[in-house]
Copies of this chain bind each other. A is one copy, B any other.
Amino acid sequence: MSRSALIVIDMLNTYSHPDAEHLIPSVREALPHIVGLIERARDGGVPVIYVNDNFGEWRSHHGEIIETTLAGPHRGLVEPVLPDSDSLFVVKARHSIFYETPLSYLLSQLDVNRVVLCGQVTEQCVLYSALDAHIRHLDVTVPDDAVAHIHQDLAHASLRLMERNMNASIRKAASVEF
């Protein structure tokens, strides 16, 4: 039987990096779909796991990732997707959600064998994470309207790579079943 988790990638973001201007419009479009997935997962008792860069800060005991992102000019992109008290949280260094993080241990503790990936950036961390999930024998679903990109053409190619070579199910957020 399939047990799913919803993974929210890098949505706690200050949007202060060089490519942010290209990313922000795409985040705006994806945001309601991500919110919808989070709500449905919470309602259904599906684990919601935030996996997030820490912007080079390593003081996660201060909750400073959230504070930092809420203090910036793009608070409006962060607030709708904040973790609640049941959310799980894993800090990643950069790149994949799995690379040198305890995520696969956490998933095995939760008996999860399928991950639904949403967030950003489609052609970077989402792509790498789909690969690393597939290597680890997890089923992967990526709702293509709930991931945000910097370059549309690379994002499109990345989704096709995930579908063809990483056995990912690419679909609309509304049609994702948990």
Chain A interface residues toward B at CB < 8 A: 49-50, 56, 58-63, 65-66, 83, 85, 87-96, 99-106, 108-109, 123-124, 127-128, 131, 135, 137, 151, 153-154, 157-158, 160-161, 164-165
This protein's copies in its complex: 4
Complex Cα spacing A170 to B50, Å: 34
- CB-CB under 8 A from A61, the residues of chain B are 50, 60, 63, 65-66, 83, 87, 89
Complex Cα spacing A151 to B87, Å: 37
**Contact indicator B106/A93 (Cβ below 8 Å):** yes
Known A-B contacts: A60-B60, A60-B89, A94-B105. Give 20 more (CB < 8 A): A49-B58, A58-B88, A58-B89, A58-B106, A59-B89, A61-B83, A62-B85, A95-B135, A99-B135, A100-B101, A100-B102, A100-B103, A100-B104, A100-B105, A108-B137, A123-B161, A127-B161, A154-B160, A157-B157, A157-B160
- CB-CB under 8 A from A135, the residues of chain B are 95-96, 99
- Among A58, A59, A103, the one with the most B-chain Cβ atoms within 10 Å of its Cβ is A58
Q: How far is the CB of A156 from chain B (nearest CB, A)?
A: 8
